[in-house]
Amino acid sequence: MSKKALEAIQTQVMWNRLIAVVEEQAQSLLRTAFGTITREAGDLSAGVYNPAGDMIAQAMTGTPGHVNTMATAVKHFFAHYPQSTMKPGDVYVTNDPWQGTGHLFDYVMMTPVFLDKKLVAFFASTCHLIDVGGIGFSAKANSSFEEGTYIPHMMFRKENVLNDDLMKVILGNTRNPIEVKGDLLSLVSANDTGARRLVEMMSEFKLKSLDKLGNHILTQSKKGALEAIKKLPDGEWSYVLPLDGYEKPVTIKAKLKIKNGHVKVDYRGTSEVSIFGINSPRTYTEAYTVFALKAIIAPHVPNNIGSLSCFEIETDPHTVVDPIRPSPVTSRHVTGQMLADAVFGCLCQVLPGQVQAESAGSIWMLMFNSAHGRVSKEQLVNAQQYSVLAIGLGGIGGRPGKDGLACMAFPSGIGGIPIEIIEGQCPLWFKEKQFLANSGGEGEWRGGLAQRIEVLNRENTPFTISAATFDRIKNAAQGREGGKPGSLGVARLGSGPHLPDKGIHLVPAGDALIVELPGGGGFGDPAKRKLELREADRKAGVVK
């Protein structure tokens, strides 16, 4: 075997090892986090960066909204802390929505890595904290100042000594200090794990820097993405996606432009910024846009700054996809996670028959709180005070050659939180959580099923539900290639009255909350669905 071939094999082995390192970083966070949305649902991300701040590898565990925003987030730290000032044991932190992952609930933790006193890499990780003060997880705020505690780019640990003053500020502005502290330290620990494993790897392969390996990874990834793009025809294709909005409906206008191997999605003309917190900062908009492009155009190319740099977006400032500080952004994913369907609507015109139908899109964050501070004390005698999170999942759109997946978060990819864990934290009782029959749109390939959830309180007291991220109550997921729409979402009280799709709602004592998530759209002509598949649907209770 030639020397060149041996070097190529060794390079691939090191690349695989680097991915294993960041995956262990993510697993460390997953297993030590305190918040249920991180340790149970996997709402996190982890990655390794070269000394210039370019993401060269990411963990498979994580969401596009975290991973792809962090692809550019690390470089923002350098404006405040130049690389030349960094020392072993330092850690930096921020929850800046516009230079991080889109809202105050996500803390980005960055750790420089040194080998023989030389800066060789950075590790960064992020996860969703249960509470950051302010109005709480709700879209009702009218500015980011109301939404919680903002932490600018700061030093969290200096030469292995934690910044206790900063920690006191953060914990003094949260309703859940124990969980928040645990999650912050888990982020630090995850980065430390990655750093140790990287140093071990570099020592094993006798590497003094990651420059050569990093350049190879980014060059090959970009080359793979460009080769996939060149197979597409040049042209422009448009798609309009209506959303429920908050104070008024929202319209996402997307135009896909492909020319000479360059791909751009133009969102100009999209609805103006909302006065409530459903706005998606540009970094989050870009994250889900490039995810959708890459998922269809170059799905097998590694996800790093090399492949992501092949895609571009264009926006109008002061719109729901590019709000300007201090616009409210807490529930940015109710808009941002819908952008994949807008991009797919363009791509299905470029690649007929190859793009899945629309999905439920935005996950429904079921933020349950006791009614303390919202009703009289007489109604809450001996009542437990609590704040817990559940996740409602709808259906994914039908796919070419396959039915859509049921009760799956797309495009975020996070999981649900087991009801046993939620019930152990509070007096709420999940009376029902099951597949919702007839929710998937009809088609040759049926849309994914949604779920029906009914929640009561074991205490005879009221509780509240924040419906900040409920959508597709008025605008169903559309089918593709002749497929039918999925079912609309529903939120109502057990006693009958329907709830508006946004806001914080009171569930009276003795009543129940019932939500029916939106189903995925169908793919292809329903008349072409095979009889054995129809019969299987009936036997399984999918169709009634």
CA distances (Å), origin 427, targets 202, 279, 384, 386? 51, 33, 7, 9
Residues 182 and 248 grouped into a single domain: no
Alpha-carbon span 330 to 150, nearest angstrom: 12
| Continuous H helices in 298-389 | 305-308, 333-336, 339-350
| Number of alpha carbons in the 13 Å side-chain half-sphere of residue 389 | 27
pLDDT (average), residues 355-381: 94
| pLDDT tens readout for residues 113-131 | 999 999 999 999 999 999 9
Residues 341 and 369 grouped into a single domain: no
- Does residue 290 carry a pLDDT above 80? yes
Predicted pLDDT of residue 128: 95
Q: Which domain covers residue 503, as residue numbers?
A: 356-544
pLDDT (average), residues 13-40: 95
Say how many domains are in the chain. Answer: 3
Predicted pLDDT of residue 250: 98
Predicted pLDDT of residue 214: 97
| pLDDT tens readout for residues 137-157 | 999 999 999 999 999 999 999
In 3D, which of 320, 341, 317 has the Cα closest to residue 331?
A: 320
Predicted pLDDT of residue 539: 95
Q: Is residue 22 part of a domain?
A: yes
| pLDDT tens readout for residues 292-315 | 999 999 999 999 999 999 999 999
| pLDDT tens readout for residues 107-116 | 999 999 999 9
Alpha-carbon span 86 to 94, nearest angstrom: 16
Q: Is residue 218 part of a domain?
A: no
Task: Work out whether strand 387-392 and strand 463-466 pair parallel, antiparallel, or are unpaired.
Answer: unpaired
Q: Is residue 482 part of a domain?
A: yes
Predicted pLDDT of residue 533: 96
Alpha-carbon span 227 to 233, nearest angstrom: 13
Predicted pLDDT of residue 112: 98
Residues 103 and 237 grouped into a single domain: no
Query: In this structure, which amino acid lies at residue 494?
Result: G
- Does residue 478 carry a pLDDT above 90? yes
Query: Of 303, 327, 354, which residue sits at a domain end?
Result: 354
- Does residue 71 carry a pLDDT above 80? yes
Residues 10 and 157 grouped into a single domain: yes
Q: Is residue 274 part of a domain?
A: yes
Query: In this structure, which amino acid lies at residue 178?
Result: I
Alpha-carbon span 314 to 326, nearest angstrom: 21
Q: Is residue 326 part of a domain?
A: yes
pLDDT (average), residues 462-481: 95
- φ and ψ at residue 271, rounded to 5 degrees: -55, 145
Predicted pLDDT of residue 175: 92
| pLDDT tens readout for residues 523-539 | 999 999 999 999 999 99
Residues 468 and 540 grouped into a single domain: yes
Query: In this structure, which amino acid lies at residue 395?
Result: G
| pLDDT tens readout for residues 241-270 | 999 999 999 999 999 999 988 999 999 999
| pLDDT tens readout for residues 418-432 | 999 999 999 999 999
Q: Is 382 left (phi over 0), alpha (psi -120 to 50) or beta?
A: left
End-to-end C-alpha distance for the chain, whole angstroms: 63
User: CB 318: neighbour CB atoms within 10 A?
Assistant: 12
Predicted pLDDT of residue 302: 94
Query: Of 324, 354, 384, which residue sits at a domain end?
Result: 354
Tell me which residue has tokens 């759109």. Answer: 397
Query: In this structure, which amino acid lies at residue 242?
Result: P
- Does residue 180 carry a pLDDT above 90? yes
Q: Is residue 221 part of a domain?
A: no
Predicted pLDDT of residue 1: 73
pLDDT (average), residues 443-463: 97
- For a pLDDT cut of 90, what percent of the chain falls above it? 95
Q: Is residue 217 part of a domain?
A: no
Alpha-carbon span 478 to 58, nearest angstrom: 32
- Does residue 62 carry a pLDDT above 90? no
Predicted pLDDT of residue 235: 97
pLDDT (average), residues 7-34: 95
Residues 48 and 124 grouped into a single domain: yes
Residues 109 and 183 grouped into a single domain: yes
**pTM listed for this prediction:** 0.96
Residues 384 and 533 grouped into a single domain: yes
- For a pLDDT cut of 70, what percent of the chain falls above it? 100
- Does residue 501 carry a pLDDT above 80? no
Per-chain mean pLDDT for the chain:
96
- φ and ψ at residue 505, rounded to 5 degrees: -120, 145
In 3D, which of 220, 207, 223 has the Cα closest to residue 17?
A: 207
Residues 490 and 373 grouped into a single domain: yes
The band of 193, judged by pLDDT with boundaries at 50, 70 and 90, is: very high
Residues 382 and 234 grouped into a single domain: no
The band of 2, judged by pLDDT with boundaries at 50, 70 and 90, is: confident
Residues 244 and 174 grouped into a single domain: no
According to DSSP, the residues that pair with 76 across neighbouring strands are none
CA distances (Å), origin 531, targets 447, 523, 538? 17, 16, 11
CA distances (Å), origin 402, targets 444, 451, 496? 9, 20, 36
Strand order in the sheet with 118-128: 55-58, 44-49, 118-128, 106-115, 91-94, 154-158, 161-162
Query: Of 300, 332, 354, which residue sits at a domain end?
Result: 354
Tell me which residue has tokens 């794990």. Answer: 193
Residues 312 and 373 grouped into a single domain: no
Q: Is residue 472 part of a domain?
A: yes
- Does residue 469 carry a pLDDT above 80? yes
Instruction: Give the Cα-Cα-Cα angle 408, 330, 317 (nearest 5 degrees).
Output: 105
